Amino acid sequence: MAVASFVLGRRRSIATVGGYSSIRSLHSLPKYYGYYAAIWCGLPGLLLVAAWLSLSDSVITGRVVASLPEALRGSSDAQLGLLVNDIKNLAAGQFVNPNRAVELGAAAELYNSLQASARWILSGLIVALGLAGFLYSATRLQPDFRARNKVETVIKAALVVASTIAIFTTVGILLSVLFEALRFFQKISFTEFLFGLTWSPQTALRADQVGSSGAFGAIPLFAGTLLISGIAMFVALPIGLMTAVYLTEYASPRIRAVIKPVLEILAGIPTVVYGFFAALTVAPLLRDLGTSLGLEVASESALGAGLVMGVMIIPFVSSLTDDVINAVPQAMRDGSYALGATKSETVKRVILPAALPGIVGGALLAVSRAIGETMIVVMAAGLAANLTVNPLQAVTTVTVQIVTLLVGDQEFDSAKTLAAFALGLVLFVVTLILNVFALHVVRKYREQYE
């Protein structure tokens, strides 16, 4: 229909000025009149569908529930929800408890018929709206009508909507995490959570069970996260930096053409794969190495997870550093070489200092990635919440605990489950601050040379 109105709108616009010969007297190109007509024809219908889909189900359900006998209806909200589910299943022809099926047969039929009529009404409305829209637009297609500008406005609006989706999603996630976290802090005090030294989230399902209290001091988790991220950065920062310096300053184009794609492959490996590489290859290796040196290395050590995470971040660090080093103007290098500096002197004394803010920004982004990384630590770092700085012991991180708290059957109002949201909130806030700060630093640096 929209396509048809495009064609018609275009035709009509040409017709209003009397054929192709006098197209110049139109304000806009004919196709813009076509787009204008198509938008008027299609857009109201689309909006209607969106509104309809979000409302029709509750309206129909309401009417079905109203039609139910008092005996069935007079129960709590939760039971009513189950009932409605049954009706819907029955209506869709799925299996429902036979006893129930008899009672609800009539309701299911009503539901089906309401759905069908709703579809018909919807289709009819769309056609009507489309026609109305087209006719309205047709009346406005005059030679001096500014169709091009109108179409531009609609395009702009569409782009604004698209770009705000990401923002609203972020806000939505933040709010949902925030509210769940607030519920958690009603049970466990804020200070206990942030500064407590023991983490043992096991709470009893029944009040008379042993160990019913649970402890929610997150310090061991923060310490574990910091330890592993620290090891990762210790590995990734120097290696990534040196890689970038080599690639930008020393490597010939041919070598660069080989190394860069390989680094990108490294960046493309799924973190799960890194995870079992850490758990199955690196961890036993470290344990054997430790034994031969007379050290006791846990089979799930912070060191193993940190090392592999470091390797994972190398391409991230090196490509960010690569960018900032490339942004240092060639004139700086020339100036330094012309004074008789060698390559490494130039890198050390001119290029790295000039690129330092950008490198710091890149490193901060890498840290926030390391903190948020989950899969590797789930598989390789262990679950024991040890408060230790010994990298050879098993530690656990914020992300690992979130995963374990939410995996499996859970009741959603226990402190144990809600703790995951509190941890998530902390993680979110920390990485957000790191990212904002890092991006600010990077941007500030960029401005310097433009």
Partner 1 sequence: MSGSQTAEAVDLAEEEQLDNSRAPRMDQSQAVAEDFQSVAQEEYETHGTVTAEDPVMTVRDCNVFYGDAQALFDVNLDIGRNQVVALIGPSGCGKSTFIRCLNRMNDTIDTAVVTGDIRLYGEDINSKSTDVVLLRARVGMVFQKPNPFPKSIFENVAYGPRLHGLASNRAELDEIVETSLRRAGLWEEAKDRLDQPGTGLSGGQQQRLCIARTIAVNPEVILMDEPCSALDPIATARIEDLIDELSENYAIAIVTHSMQQAARVSQRTAYFHLGKLIEVDETNRIFTNPGHKLTEDYVTGRFG
The residues that touch partner 1, with contacts defined as CB under 8 A, are 252-253, 329, 331-342, 345, 349-350, 353-354, 448
With beta carbons less than 8 A apart as the criterion, state whether 118 and 60 touch: yes
Min dist CB 436 to partner 1, Å, is: 25
The CB-of-354 to partner 1 minimum distance in angstroms stands at: 5
What are 129's two structure tokens? 């709206």
Q: CB-wise, 346 or 401, nearer to partner 1?
A: 346
Shortest spacing between CB 365 and partner 1, in angstroms? 22
**Residue in 224, 442, 229, 436 with CA at minimum distance from that of residue 321:** 442
Q: In whole angstroms, how close is the CB of 243 to partner 1 at the nearest point? A: 20
CA dihedral 245, 250, 256, 258 (to 10 degrees): -100
Helix (H, G, I), strand (E, B) or coil at 200: strand
- For strand 199-200 and strand 215-216, is the pairing parallel, antiparallel, or unpaired? antiparallel
> Which of 238/353 has CB closer to partner 1?
353
Least separation in angstroms between CB 352 and partner 1 = 11
Output the smallest distance, CB 21 to partner 1, in A: 50
**What single DSSP character describes residue 20?**
G
Q: How far is the CB of 318 from partner 1 (least distance, A)?
A: 22
Give 261 or 335: the residue with its C-beta nearer to partner 1: 335
SS3 362: helix
Q: Of 220 and 362, which has the nearer Cβ to partner 1?
A: 362
- Beta carbon nearer to partner 1, 257 or 295: 257
Nearest-approach distance from CB 364 to partner 1, in angstroms: 21
216 in Cβ contact with 199 (< 8 Å): yes
Report which of 229, 323, 307, 319 is spatially closest to residue 265, judged by C-alpha positions: 319
Instruction: State the Rg of the chain over Cα.
Output: 32
Amino acid at 380: A
Residue 204 or 352 with smaller CB distance to partner 1: 352
Residue 49: CB minimum distance to partner 1, A: 58
Cα separation, 9 vs 23, in Å, equals 14
Closest residue by Cα to residue 274 from 347, 417, 189, 379: 379
From the list 84, 46, 88, the residue with the least C-alpha distance to 68 is: 84
First to last CA, the chain: 50
Residue number with CB closer to partner 1 (24 or 254): 254
Identify residue 154 by its one-letter amino acid code: V
Minimum Å gap between C-beta 286 and partner 1 is 42
Task: Give whichever of 52 and 337 is closer to partner 1, judged by the CB atom.
Answer: 337
Residues 37, 138: Cα–Cα separation, whole Å: 7
Task: Give the helix ranges, DSSP H, for 207-351.
Answer: 219-245, 253-268, 271-277, 283-292, 302-327, 330-338, 343-346
**DSSP reduced 3-state for 47:** helix
Using the minimum distance from each CB to partner 1, give the nearer residue, 409 or 447: 447
**Are 249 and 347 a contacting pair, CB within 8 Å?**
yes
> Which of residues 321 and 417 has its CB atom nearest to partner 1 in the complex?
321
